Structure 1
C-alpha cells in the first residue's frame, strides 16, 4: 500500500472515531459516556499498523482540539481535552499504536482464529493503556481517589468494552481480507 493510501486511510479512521464517538449514552454517575469511539483506534491500529494507526488518532485529537465537534456529545475544543474525559481521548492514540503492534507481528501470519485472538489481545492491552491514561487524568482533574475513579471510569465499562473488542477483532480481520491489507 502506498504512503498516500495510508495517509488517506488515516484520515478516514479519524473520521470513523469521530462518528463512533457521537453514538453515546451519558451516564448519571460519571462524566464518561458509553460510546463506540474505541472502535476507531482498534480498527485503525489493526488495519494500518502502529504508525498510521497512531496518526489517525492524532488527527482525531487535533481536529477536536481545534473546536470541531468530533468528541462525545458533539463537543470539541481544548476544554474537553482538559476536562475529566481528556485522558481517555489522548489514550485513543496510545491504544491505536498498541493495536498496530499486533498487526505487524507474527499474529498476522497465523490462521484466522489465531489472528482474531491475537488482535483481541493487542486491543485489550491498548484498552488497558487507554484506561490508564483516562483514569490518571480523571483523578487529577476531579481529585477522585483510585477506587472512586475505578468505580466511575473503568468498572462499569468493562463488559461493553469487551464486546467492542470482540466485534473489532472480527471486523478488522474481515476488512483486511476483503481489501487485501
Structure 2
C-alpha cells in the first residue's frame, strides 16, 4: 500500500473518529454524525478504501477510544444493542461507493446511493437491535428507525451536494481514488 493511500485512510478515519462521537440524544439510540461522515467518505473513495476507513474506525473504538456516539468506546459497545448499526456502516459505505463508482458526475445519483446505503445500515442494525433487546419489529422501528429518518434525510441532502461539488468541480476525486 502506498504512503499516500495509507495517509488518506488514516486522515479520513480520523475525521470519522472526530465526527462520530458528536451525538444528539433522542432516546435509546442517539442521532450521530457518523452517518454524515460515512456519506462523505463513501462518496469520495472507492469501495475498498471506504471499507478500510470504517474498519479502522471500528477497531479504534473497539480498543476503547471514545469514538462511538456519545464519546463512548470499547468492545462492549460493539456487542450491545447499537453494535449492529456500527457494523452496518460497512454495508452502508460499500453500497454508496459501489453505486457512485461510475456515477460521480450525476447529482441525482448521490442521494439515491446514500438512501440505499442507509437502508442497509437500518436493516442490519435493526435486526441486531431486535435480537439484543428482545423487541419486536414494530417497537424496533419506532425506537431505532423512525426518529432517524428526517435527520438522515437532511444529512443526505447536505452530503450529496458537498460531495458532488468536490467530485465534479475539484480534482479531489482523482486524488482520492
Deviation at residue 71 of structure 1 after TM alignment? 0.4
* Aligned counterparts, 1:16-165, within 5 A: 16-28=15-27, 30=28, 32-105=29-102, 107-108=103-104, 110=105, 115-165=106-156
The structure with more helix, counted as a fraction of residues: 1
Where does structure 2 lack aligned partners over 5 or more consecutive residues? none
**Within 1, Cα distance between the matches of 2:64 and 2:116?**
30
Deviations 1:122-156 (A, max 9, x none): 11110000001110111011000000000000011
Deviation at residue 8 of structure 1 after TM alignment? 2.0
**Within 2, Cα distance between the matches of 1:95 and 1:116?**
19
Where does structure 1 lack aligned partners over 5 or more consecutive residues? none
Task: Select between 139-148 and 33-42 the one with higher mean Cα deviation.
Answer: 33-42
Deviation at residue 175 of structure 1 after TM alignment? 2.3
Deviation at residue 12 of structure 1 after TM alignment? 1.9
Report the equivalent of 2:166: 175
**Within 2, Cα distance between the matches of 1:79 and 1:13?**
24
Deviation at residue 27 of structure 1 after TM alignment? 2.0
- Output the TM-score relative to the length of structure 2: 0.91
Deviation at residue 3 of structure 1 after TM alignment? 4.2
Task: Select between 143-152 and 13-22 the one with higher mean Cα deviation.
Answer: 13-22
Query: Is the 1:17–1:38 contact (alpha carbons within 8 Å) kept by the matching residues of 2?
Result: no
Write out the 4+ residue segments of structure 1 that deviate beyond 6 Å after TM superposition: none
Deviations 1:16-37 (A, max 9, x none): 2222222211123x2x101211
Considering only aligned residues, what root-mean-square deviation do their CA atoms show, in Å?
A: 1.5
**Within 1, Cα distance between the matches of 2:116 and 2:2?**
27
- Output the TM-score relative to the length of structure 1: 0.89
Count of residue pairs brought into register by the alignment = 172
Q: Secondary structure at the match of 2:20?
A: helix
